[in-house]
Chain A
């Protein structure tokens, strides 16, 4: 305690660094708590010995546990729950929807993948069956299903852990692929991994104050989504490859369909204010994925007869997503701007 203000007058480098970290918190919260937080931090960060304290004040940095604690507080405040200012509540609801939709996409893909594993040998007996590694890889995807169900049922801590673990195989495979191909498809692989990680990161918006997820519609969405995706796979899997569609193309179609449903629901007043921001974030991620895969395909794929058709399809998909992203972003910005950001929790 006695050393807390050693190094003054003048703001020390350590204090500047800590205040920079605190900028992660909303301005209204900082106005109420920043000075107190800084005083408490410095009291604990500066050693008793004057020389050590001087050194720490000049060269010290907030350690990782302090950084993590501020990050956790920032996530709780910015992605607000019950009792939060309306703007942060809307932002929190939007990010929580991104996590839910993203985990749903992972879960649907995993279920359809396991289904595909079962019926492919029956449908195409001449095609070699999936190897052991492919089977294990597909089955590991079921971790996403468990993570999604846990989240929908309110077990967000367990969902966070399981979703993080479910991302590991993708990280390992991407790393191995890049190493064995000498860095080919680096852009699309990296963007693909980042897009896959978005719902895992968005789980930070789930905390004790977060509004509970209404389980029924989200539980229904899993079998409905898996059935739809299985239908698409049945239509497009070889040798019936008459529809030009790839995974980024499918996600483009899904987000455009969701945006159209949202716009229709807007006119009937049956949509939540968090949806424009959630859909805009998802659309932006999918647009980036589509653009990255298109660029990498142009760079690395050998010219084929249907290449022009594929490129045209990818461009049209990008354009469609762009066209829905712009109004969604405008709606989201307008909604968030008009909502008050004042923090009621003041000492």
Chain B
């Protein structure tokens, strides 16, 4: 799963959001690192919809303009949970190895 898809799915965990809402939430969740451009967002969204991980929730008209909301499906929630567990396991392995590592001190045994 790409990092962008990961943050799009995460942005939809608590409630359905529209495109601009997903962009803002992904930026906030990633501390501003993932700033989705529109072409990129819809490139990710159309795949997630095609794969059944995300589905349209509802459409609203706001100031004469269509606003389409998307929600996470059960399958999307499972896929995100699996990906989060995988990333957490990776992080735990790296953290454990880093904690065990001791820098060589000057004057120590060769």
A contact set with B: CB distance below 8 Å? 1, 4-5, 8-9, 29, 32-33, 35-44, 65-66, 68-74, 76, 83, 344-347
Known contacts A40-B38, A69-B39; is-contact A347 B68 (Cβ 8 Å): yes
CB distance from A77 to the nearest CB of B (A): 8
* Residue from A36, A43, A68 in contact with B37 in the complex, judged by beta carbons closer than 8 Å: A68
A8 and chain B: residue at smallest CB distance: B64
CB distance from B55 to the nearest CB of A (A): 8
B contact set with A: CB distance below 8 Å? 18-21, 23, 37-43, 45-47, 49-50, 55-56, 62-68, 70
CB distance from B32 to the nearest CB of A (A): 14
By a CB distance below 8 angstroms, the chain A residues around B37 are 65-66, 68-69
Q: DSSP majority for the A interface?
A: helix
CB pair A73 B42 closer than 8 Å? yes
Q: In the complex, A29→B20 CA distance in Å? A: 19
By a CB distance below 8 angstroms, the chain A residues around B19 are 36-37, 39-40, 43
Q: In the complex, A121→B58 CA distance in Å? A: 75
B19 and chain A: residue at smallest CB distance: A40
* Residue from B20, B42, B43, B56 in contact with A44 in the complex, judged by beta carbons closer than 8 Å: B20
Enumerate 29 A-B pairs (CB-CB under 8 Å) in ascending A order.
Answer: A4-B65, A5-B63, A5-B65, A33-B42, A35-B68, A36-B19, A36-B42, A37-B19, A37-B42, A38-B65, A39-B66, A40-B38, A40-B41, A41-B38, A42-B65, A44-B20, A66-B38, A69-B40, A70-B39, A72-B39, A72-B40, A72-B43, A73-B40, A73-B42, A345-B46, A345-B47, A345-B49, A347-B68, A347-B70
Q: In the complex, A8→B66 CA distance in Å? A: 13
Q: In the complex, A9→B63 CA distance in Å? A: 9
Known contacts A33-B46, A65-B37, A345-B49; is-contact A40 B18 (Cβ 8 Å): yes
Given contacts A70-B38, A72-B43, 6 further A-B contacts (CB under 8 A): A4-B62, A9-B64, A35-B65, A37-B39, A72-B40, A345-B50
CB pair A35 B66 closer than 8 Å? yes
Q: When A and B form their complex, which 10 residue pairs have the shortest distance between CB atoms, in order from nearest?
A: A69-B39, A40-B19, A5-B63, A69-B37, A43-B20, A70-B39, A73-B39, A345-B50, A345-B46, A35-B66
CB pair A39 B20 closer than 8 Å? yes
Most buried by A among B18, B37, B55, B62: B37
Q: In the complex, A164→B50 CA distance in Å? A: 33
By a CB distance below 8 angstroms, the chain B residues around A70 are 38-39
Q: In the complex, A344→B37 CA distance in Å? A: 23
CB distance from B97 to the nearest CB of A (A): 28
By a CB distance below 8 angstroms, the chain B residues around A36 are 18-19, 42, 66, 68
By a CB distance below 8 angstroms, the chain A residues around B47 are 345
* Residue from B46, B49, B50, B65 in contact with A39 in the complex, judged by beta carbons closer than 8 Å: B65
CB pair B20 A8 closer than 8 Å? no
Q: In the complex, A347→B70 CA distance in Å? A: 9
By a CB distance below 8 angstroms, the chain A residues around B39 are 37, 66, 68-74
By a CB distance below 8 angstroms, the chain A residues around B41 are 40
By a CB distance below 8 angstroms, the chain A residues around B66 are 35-36, 39
By a CB distance below 8 angstroms, the chain B residues around A66 are 37-39
B20 and chain A: residue at smallest CB distance: A43
By a CB distance below 8 angstroms, the chain B residues around A35 are 65-66, 68
* Residue from A5, A44, A344, A347 in contact with B62 in the complex, judged by beta carbons closer than 8 Å: A5
Q: In the complex, A36→B59 CA distance in Å? A: 10
B63 and chain A: residue at smallest CB distance: A5
